[in-house]
Amino acid sequence: MSVPGAWYLSLAAVLFTIGALGLLVRRNVLVMFMCIELMLNAANLTLVTYSRMLNDIGGQALVFFVLVVAAAEVVVGLGLVVAIFRRRRDATADDLHILKG
C-alpha cells in the first residue's frame, strides 16, 4: 500500500507555510534559522515527491545541492548568532547592526 504523492505535496505545503509564518512573525534569530531550515526541507520533500512521481532521478540529485546550501547557511548563520550572543544575552534580528564594528 503506497501513499499518494498528493499527500506528500500537501505536507510540504503545510511545512513551508509554517516556516514562512514563523519567519515573518518571530524575531529571535535562532527561531528564524529553524524556520528557514523547515522551508528548505519542505522544498526538498517536494523535489523528492516529484522525482518519485515522474520516475526521474534529477529531483533527488538536486536535493543534495539544497542540503549543501542549507549546511553552509547554518554555519554562517550560527557564527553570526554566536558573535551576537558573546556581546549580549539575547539576540533578535534587529541586533545584527552590532556586528558592523
pLDDT band for position 96 (cuts 50, 70, 90): low
Predicted pLDDT of residue 99: 63
30-87 confidence digits (pLDDT tens): 888 889 999 999 999 999 999 999 999 998 999 999 899 888 988 888 887 777 778 7
For residue 11, the Cα-to-chain-centroid distance in whole angstroms is 15
Q: Does domain 5-100 have CATH number 1.10.287.3510?
A: yes
pLDDT band for position 11 (cuts 50, 70, 90): very high
Predicted pLDDT of residue 86: 80
Contacts of 5 (CB under 8 A, 6+ apart): 49, 50, 52, 53
